[in-house]
Amino acid sequence: MRFSNLARLVFQRTTFTIPEDSKLTTIRDLEMNQEMVAIDKVLMLKVLYMTRSSNSESRLVVHSRGQYKNKSLSFDRIVFVADSSGDTAAILIGHGSNIQFFSDNVLLRDNGVFCPGALFCIECPYPVESWMGGQNDNNNSGIPLITTDNPVYFVDEKKSPGISLALNPVEESSSRMKSFTIIGSMQVLSINLVPTNCCGRTSCPCFKLNNRTSGVTAKVSLKVTVTHPPPADPENASFIVTNLTSNALTDCLITGIPPGMNAVTLNKLPVVRRLFRRNGVQYFSTVNNNGGFLMTGWVRRGTMVDQGMVESADTGTYRNNPPPVMIASSSLNHHITTMKPANESLPLIAQAQLENLMIDVSSAGAHDEGVGAGVGAGNNENVAWRLEPPRPPA
């Protein structure tokens, strides 16, 4: 995100304001300049995604600046974030890490505002001293860890005048984890309803206390074609995203999922299963034809052992063998973390088309598995969730 005047930023559920003499800093500034005066600096970050530790004893091994030995840190969640230039970082939450992070925003944390796509600010950030996933001093591939002793504040983007979007291209050649923000089209390759661990379950990294207990979400594979920023090589403007799960997309296509209903039950209803796929394709087609999607995500090219440089086992003992030579992997996965229509003012006819794609299954749990074998649901004319093809707007 870009902003012309930090003092005009409006934050959610607080009267906090940023002083007029404050200046915006970046993740790279915090990495490269240990002597930077941060008193008047503000770091603005966007949430990419979150992960949660597998157990209460989880520890993260990190490399610290100027130290030859690694150290381990306890955490409950890891929040991956990006700044306006596409550089990424990680923030550890819980078990003594960044304990003031939510001290002024517990409600916004628990009601789902703190989620992928959320924009927030950190005052007077500390220089980066530790990296995860690699030693930044040697190969520049580590993910920097951001630390703060101050609470963060969530930006109200709709009420902040002058805030603008910074589009960042997909940097596939970087050895670091890089964020991208692009506009383009999304072609559905496959779409299905699957179980999810989200919605407040133990293994879910979300903070939101969600009362939706169905545990159903959409999983989709897509072909993404980038239109903005214009790709340097138009012939390589597309990439594949596989196994993308999205509760937001699910909520755009299906509603009224009864408590306790799971994906297995819904998938036993052929009419639901087929209409969900068809309506999903139509949803993406409608948005593509009206400005496309605004997508945020990340890429990171992994490394692999160069097999041509591996020493034979009979050339010496393990202690005498040289360390393996690592090279960039030939495969690269693209991860989409948020997506929405790029055109915030969709034409009324397009809005009506999207609304007509919603499938209501609020009464599906009251019927046996045989009901719903077809659109007419057999001879039962009182089936409340009977589905019909979406009608064009009047």
Locate the domains of the chain by residue range. Answer: 6-154, 178-297+331-366
pTM of the model: 0.81
Among 178, 146, 152, CA closest to 48: 178
Spatial separation of the C-alpha atoms in residues 123 and 58, rounded to whole Å? 29
Beta bridge partners of 182: 295
Residues 6+ apart with CB under 8 A from 32: none
The DSSP string of 10-53 is -BTT------TT-EEE-HHHHHH-TT---TTEEEEEEEEEEEE-
In tens digits, the chain (394 residues) has pLDDT values of: 555 567 788 899 888 888 888 898 999 999 988 888 888 899 999 999 998 877 666 677 788 877 766 777 888 889 999 998 999 999 999 888 899 999 988 888 888 788 899 999 999 999 998 898 765 444 467 899 999 999 999 999 888 876 777 899 999 888 889 999 999 999 999 999 998 766 555 667 777 665 545 678 899 999 999 999 999 888 889 999 999 988 888 888 988 887 777 888 888 888 888 999 999 999 999 999 999 999 999 998 766 555 565 555 555 444 455 556 555 556 788 999 999 999 988 899 999 999 999 988 876 544 444 433 333 333 333 333 333 344 444 4
Contacts of 167 (CB under 8 A, 6+ apart): 181, 182, 183, 228, 229
Residue 367: the pLDDT is 44
Rounded Cα distance, 318 and 320, in Å: 5
Amino acid at 382: N
Between CA 116 and CA 119 the distance in angstroms is 9
Q: Is 6-154 a CATH 2.40.50 domain?
A: yes
pLDDT, residue 389, reads 40
Output the 3-class SS for 79-105: EEEECCCCEEEEEEEECCECCCCCCCC
